[in-house]
Structure 1
């Protein structure tokens, strides 16, 4: 089974003069599966930490519950295309809600970037999958979900231990980082 990994590395924020920089944890953000780099950029990493903290329980336990078409990302497209097939609006809204409940927990995108929307979850065969659509093509990589979750947890803790946040912003970071907040240092 392949290994999906995240690499986070502290970097100087090139936009440190912007007022929003005080509410960012800047760094290199890389997603790769074996030797294939899926995403590599510098950005505010706090949104990923927030997403991971909120969604890791779903990633670990929630198997893809719908008809599967090649990948989670492609399945999503096919499933949402069927919304217009309903003649009964009540059934249509119930179907859309059912789809949205799953995908809200398995969708990841770095806000403010032009990167693809990634879908991470357990396939019907119970292995981890990351999939996305880019340049007119679907991409999908299988991996060991438990190993990914454990390694990403460690990587986040290590990354945050290198970060210093201003005391006046601690409530913001406490809310965003959740269980990971205790790993940042405060600039007293």
Structure 2
């Protein structure tokens, strides 16, 4: 798979909800960009609280660098596909086993999850899959899984640098 560059572009904007905003909120444009062969694709382009990105990154940074997807992946599926396939299991001996299985599945994949709470934006899964950085999600409009390969170390460094302007 040909890998590109994944990065955040964050820009402060005046909030349309300034009377309702908490004092620690930083309103702005959040773009998650993917660049390959000098072509930039905006995977996410949304106005929201930029501190959501900072909080996610603070929680996820250490895991993103080292946690590889530890699921049998001999068909080279994306992280988001494997997560959804896990929910297709239908046989359980009892309800307790089913609830425990789904809780374990949620816990496992939560380390890869990025989503702007309270928005209709997709849930993105970012992590290492077969040793490569990957962002994947299910595109509801096209009804397909989208998958982007990138250098995880570059992504971590650029995100840390970008977020310094908003701390």
Give the shorter-chain TM-score range. 0.7 to 0.9
Distance 2:114 2:160 in 1: 16
Q: CA RMSD in A?
A: 1.6
Aligned to 2:163: 156
Matching of residue 24 in structure 1 with residue 30 in structure 2: no
Matching of residue 109 in structure 1 with residue 110 in structure 2: no
Q: TM-score of the superposition, structure 1-length normalised? A: 0.77
Q: Is contact 1:31–1:38 with CA below 8 Å preserved after alignment?
A: yes
Q: TM-score of the superposition, structure 2-length normalised? A: 0.86
Higher strand share: 2
Aligned to 2:126: 120
* Larger Rg, first or second structure (1 or 2): 1
Count of matched residue pairs: 157
Unaligned ranges ≥5, structure 2 = none
Structure 1 stretches of 4+ with a deviation exceeding 6 A read none
1:10-58 Cα distance to aligned partner (Å, 9 max, x none): 111111122x343421111000110111011111111111011011111
| Shift of residue 101, structure 1, vs aligned partner | 2.3
Distance 2:17 2:64 in 1: 33
Distance 1:96 1:80 in 2: 7
Matching of residue 129 in structure 1 with residue 134 in structure 2: yes
Aligned to 1:2: 4
